[in-house]
Amino acid sequence: MPSSIDSPLRAGPRWLAAASLRWRGVLLCVVIALAATFLARVHGGPQLLYALLFGIGFHFLADHALTGPGVEFCARVLLRAGVALLGARITLEQIAALGWPTAVLVASAVLATLAFGVLLARGLRLGTLAGVLSGGATAICGASAALALAAVLPRTREAERLTLVVVLSVTALSTLAMLFYPLLARSLQLSPAQAGVFLGATIHDVAQVVGAGYSMSPAIGDHATVVKLLRVSLLALVVVGVGTAMRSGAEPGAARPPLLPGFMLLFLAFVALHSAGAIPRAWESPLNELSRACLVVAIAALGVRTSFETLVAAGWRCFALLLGETLWLAAWVLLGLRLLG
């Protein structure tokens, strides 16, 4: 039989074998994600945090022969798919409409928070990688940024543990910010435009920005969401910068992290397609929902791969690092708003 016919016949069983190896672990992570989503919709609260905590409860299945491969698939492939699909939320027109003063303020806040995170991490004896990972998560888009940055950092058990602690801490802090920042904006008597910039430039996760903004007014919610998307658009630049630094600092002969992972190229491609109007409006909401679903399942998988002992081992210093970066970011943006008048 010709090889052109032989090939698909041989490829088919391999595909089926991979699927049969992973489906149980994937199903486990999907069920955890569905439970987290149900709880968040019925009782409120952070969906990602629920998924992470529920996942930790199933840590005993992380290395099981029947579920381990599927959990690993969710933690890697679905994670990257979710981050890539974030690009479908952003257009260059939205960013340009904010004006250069807001763009400069947001960009400077991102850079200042990254630098502050590295310095504070060193002061807390946590190391540069902890500062980069936590600073990027705080400065850009919370758990999504932490997961994207982790892809260009050296793959070690310590890096994975740190990523999980950052995701847990930044999600909790983002939820607290969603509750308290609108009160702070009112107490400081910020104008609607200023309040939108403050909320969009300081709250970590997109969902919490939306919740905080629209709790004040529809206009503030719209403005805060666009400002937040500007921060998300900087994710690719930060990943490239961190990837470059990691490659230059790698040991001779050691495997170097990718400069720009494939999923970030997809992220940029989605931004370009959305900006060009190539993504129909009817597809925008489903793509956003798909991105969120992938990230929730991936967070559930990361939860399964860790344990409460791992989180406790991180101690108070990691949470203090995230808290310090969060307060620094808020202070920077408020000062900038005052200077801009």
Residue 142's closest CA among 178, 116, 93, 100? 178
Flag residues of the chain having pLDDT under 70.
Answer: 1-13, 15, 17, 155-156, 246-261, 308-315
Residue written as tokens 């009817």? 282
Rounded CA separation 30/27 (Å): 5
Please tell me the predicted confidence (pLDDT) of residue 15.
Answer: 61
- Which residue type occupies 183? L
DSSP assignment of 147-179, as one string?
A: HHHHTTS---HHHHHHHHHHHHHHHHHHHHHHH
Please tell me the predicted confidence (pLDDT) of residue 39.
Answer: 92
Residue written as tokens 């190229």? 265
Contact call for residues 300 and 29 (beta carbons, < 8 A): yes
**Dihedral sign for Cα atoms in the order 289, 294, 300, 302:** negative
Please tell me the predicted confidence (pLDDT) of residue 257.
Answer: 53
Please tell me the predicted confidence (pLDDT) of residue 6.
Answer: 42
Please tell me the predicted confidence (pLDDT) of residue 30.
Answer: 95
Non-local CB neighbours of 320 within 8 Å, separated by 6+ positions: 124
Contact call for residues 199 and 220 (beta carbons, < 8 A): yes
Q: What single DSSP character describes residue 99?
A: -
Percent of the chain as helix, strand, coil, to the nearest 5: 80, 0, 20
Please tell me the predicted confidence (pLDDT) of residue 9.
Answer: 42
DSSP assignment of 53-72, as one string?
A: HHHHTTGGGTT-TTTHHHHH
pTM (predicted TM-score): 0.71
Q: Mutual orientation of helices 3-43 and 281-304 as an angle, nearest 10°?
A: 90
